[in-house]
Amino acid sequence: MSFPMRPAREGPEPVDEPSHNEHPALQPAVTDVPVTPGVHLSGHSAYTNPTNSQQDSALPFDPDTAAPGPSWSANSYFTPRQEDRASSPTEAAAGATSGEDLLRKLSGVQDPSTAYKQDLADVDPRAAHPELNLSGRLISATFAVPYNIAYAPGQDFDLLPRRGTSALFDSFSYLASSSSPWNHTLVGWTGEIRKKTTEEVDAALQPSGNKAAAPVPIDGAPPPAPPQEQGLRIGREDRGRLEKQLECDRGGKIVPVWLPDEWDEKNDEVILKDQGRWRTYAEHELYTLCHYKQNEPADGRAARKSWADYYRMSKLYADRILELYKPGDIVIVHDFYLFLLPSLLRQRLPNIYVGFFLHVPFPSSEFYRCLSRRKEILEGVLGANMVGFQSYSYSRHFSSCCTRILGFDSSSAGVDAYGAHVAVDVFPIGINAASTQKQAFEDPVIEEKIKAIKDMYPDKKIIIGRDRLDAARGVLQKLQAFELFLERYPEWRGKVVLVQVTSPSSIHADKKANDDEKMMNKLSDLVARINGVYGSLSFTPVRHFPQYLEREEYFALLRLADVGLITSVRDGMNTTSLEYVISQKDNCGPLILSEFSGTAGSLSGAIHINPFDFSGVAEAINNALTMPLEQRKKDYQKLYEHVISNNVQAWCNNFLKRLMTNLSSFDQSFATPALDRAKLLQQYRDSKKRLFMFDYDGTLTPIVKDPGQAIPSDRVTRTLKTLAADPANSVWIISGRDQAFLDEWMGHITELGLSAEHGSFMRHPATSDWENLTETTDMSWRSEAAEIFQHYADKTPGSFVETKKIALTWHYRLADPEWGAFQARECQKHLENTIGKKYDVEVMTGKANLEVRPRFVNKGEIAKRLVEEYGAEPPEFVLCLGDDFTDEDMFRSLRQSELAKDHVFSVTVGASSKQTLASWHLLEPSDVISCISLLNGSADAGNVGAIAVVDGGPVPEARI
């Protein structure tokens, strides 16, 4: 369908936490040992061991007058350069002359020679888009603040830089700096707060000394956290102290989200016990799925429990953001930890501006459909105005899932959902190229490291690999391919060494205690086998270092490497490849890159490989080592120009400008958010007089080919009977069906009220008599209407006419879809031009049917009548659900009533992208029954999150 146009006015990897694995190779004493001689503890990149030393940073503005970016990533930036981008993937693909050109265009990679032209949106977004009434404020929501936090009562919190997600943190640094036109606020969970050790507390109480000079022990390992059997209790004063530290002491404003296990209201204290619970669902279920892995079968109780925590966490995020929100703010939500947040924000503020960006892969629909909460995740993301991905394939998978699972229309440009258009686009994230280049080439210590490494591997070709200890990183495949390379190309034996650095995994939620140990054992065995077969006393072909690297060592290895080898089996944006390109400015070393990495679509100058094809990888290694210098320079120039021009600053600007363009292009005021079940449950519990009005077909039961087969399931009848049994509830089914059908299938539930033929007849609860509301109506139009309907039924095989007491309906659901729709349009014109002008009747279009009925008969009149029966004491809770055009009359009637808006829940049902008068949206009849079950006290898998929010704590084990 088409949407109203606005008038022309114009990941990161999961957040890292300290691991406690018993494998000797993973202990801090091993992982923090430098690869090369001479420990040097100064500044770090995304993959280096963090310290508190200050980085020298030359900003492209006056640092004395400009507000600096946050000190956790105070980086400088190149002069902005970015290419002109198409407004959608469809437009971007136009003009492609080859498969490679198509991939380049769809991945947002254009000719590097295209100059970046700074436009008004880069300088003053409010002036560029006055119709949006922007405030100039930008709120970024990420899973955790950029610090590991330690706490002691009455003291300042210790804030130590958090490992990982460098590109994401660099983007926040840019947005918080004076180079950005935005007033930026970062919202994130505090992360697992640990209690300070006795030594740390004593050190903080010393009258002198520089705490920041040595925030961690000299070996780089974080102090062991003392046991927390009773949990941490943090009072209002201490929470305010942390919030003040994050807001005022770090350059960019950071607002923490508190996720307590319990809340001591009497003492105003948050109680933190099982802090890791908040990452469990995201890391155990979503991260696994996004990387095409599956968990072992289980009874589902743990998944339901973690889902409740995930939903509750998202609600607390929404609450925190809405405390900060002002009209005209833009909210950007990052990554799989916060899939639900866009929809939760949309439920509270229907016209809020929200963008979402996923930093990890998005799986194909065939794999994604294995997720038990698949609908809720997609609905959560579709609360955004625009959804961004690392590569075109990920965006295509998402759109396909929305169509195959939710039933929404989609294209390469976006998804038509809930009465609005949700744009879907591709934004490959970059790195802070200027800062990376500065770090790689302007530290004299790195030169010393390079010399030391060359002395260790004289006259050897060096292949560098750096990965997390994660099966998705493809380290096992890399080693197996390298082994095959040495077997097939014996001339390289003794002449090439693979330096593989494997840092601890960033995933810890619900991990088995020995998972990392098992993988490390596999790697160790494989390394030992390769070195045993192809090594000697004087030469080791594989040097494996299971540890974090110091910044100097990391860049030294990247600079002197002859080949970069990345064999991820699934990956979002691999920033190691981008940092390798920057570091190879003098060497022009080839980059071998997995085609399954999100970076592959952007880096056309790399050698793309399938990591599962060991022969192909071995051949690629040989080709890279033997590549002529001129070819290396040519390929490298393409890589370098891309990384320089598509830096993290350009990524931020591209994403925000595209979001604003979409907001300007499409009127979002017609969007209908998914039903807020927590709000529904809370209002239900708070009310004493409740009114329910349900349509039947497409609402309580699915639409079927033969209307006579649309019989209610046992679950539907039991759920309705339980709901109607509550004396505070008045439950009505208001249907286009005739009396006989409703009597047969719903009449045995005596507590139900029934209305047949769109409000023509009523049967009140506890009676069997029907009241005819149209007995004085002129029905002389029926014979002429029946003749017209029969004419089209004869011309449309599979169609038939249904005669009701008040209305006539022509059904063409069993006819050929295209021919039936065409004949329906012709029949509608015929009816409107004949009896529609002679009689007081209306021609109503339904789902594969046309109906003629008296004009004054509609469901809205019944809804109005039922509300008025309450007199001076109106119902405190109204739930009205319907799926069809005829149900809009009920929604309109409720809008025109004087009922409190917060007491009325009008809900349209179905995957249609129609614009509706309803305030909320549900996807299908099973969701309707689930919501009714929630009100009846059921805690099924789809409802545990809402129950956790309303109850303000974990769902009891007995209810899961």
Instruction: Give the active site residues.
Output: 695
Q: Please state whether 58 falls in left (phi above 0), alpha (psi between -120 and 50) or beta.
A: beta
Identify whether the C-beta of residue 473 lies closer than 8 Å to the C-beta of residue 501: no
Structure tokens at 211: 């705490």
Q: Please enumerate in sequence order all residues whose Cβ is within 8 A of that of 894, keeping only pairs 6 or more positions apart, or say none.
A: 863, 867, 878, 880, 904, 906
Structure tokens at 54: 């200050």
- The CA dihedral of 740, 742, 747, 752, to the nearest 10 degrees, is -150
Structure tokens at 146: 């950029």
**Single-letter amino acid, residue 644:** I
* CA–CA separation, 272 and 281 (whole Å): 18
State the angle between helix axes of 575-583 and 551-560 in degrees (0 to 180), rounded to the nearest 10.
Answer: 70
Q: Which residue from 567, 549, 570 is spatially nearest to 558, judged by alpha carbons? A: 549
Which string of DSSP letters, residue by residue, matches 656-696?
HHHHHHHHHHB-GGG--PBP-HHHHHHHHHH-SSEEEEE-S
* CA–CA separation, 930 and 941 (whole Å): 9
* CA–CA separation, 725 and 694 (whole Å): 16
Distances (CA, A) of 345 to 338, 518, 666, 907: 11, 42, 19, 18
Secondary structure (3-state) at 852: strand
* CA–CA separation, 296 and 170 (whole Å): 36
Number of C-alpha atoms within 13 angstroms, CB side, residue 945? 24
Q: Which residue from 376, 327, 410, 434 is spatially nearest to 57, judged by alpha carbons? A: 434
Structure tokens at 919: 């305030």
Which residue is listed with tokens 């393409």? 638
* CA–CA separation, 870 and 868 (whole Å): 5
Instruction: Tell me 894's DSSP state.
Output: H
* CA–CA separation, 44 and 579 (whole Å): 13
Identify whether the C-beta of residue 174 lies closer than 8 Å to the C-beta of residue 72: no
Q: Which residue from 836, 858, 855, 840 is spatially nearest to 760, judged by alpha carbons? A: 858
Percentages helix, strand, coil for the chain, rounded to the nearest 5? 40, 15, 40
* CA–CA separation, 820 and 754 (whole Å): 31
With helix as H, strand as E and coil as C, how does 377-416 read? HHHHHCCCCEEEECCHHHHHHHHHHHHHCCCCEEECCEEE
Structure tokens at 221: 């390992």
* CA–CA separation, 874 and 898 (whole Å): 9
* CA–CA separation, 563 and 492 (whole Å): 14
φ, ψ for residue 261, nearest 5 deg: -75, -40
Identify whether the C-beta of residue 881 lies closer than 8 Å to the C-beta of residue 672: no
With helix as H, strand as E and coil as C, how does 906-928 read? EEEECCCCCCCCCCEEECCHHHH
* CA–CA separation, 196 and 210 (whole Å): 17
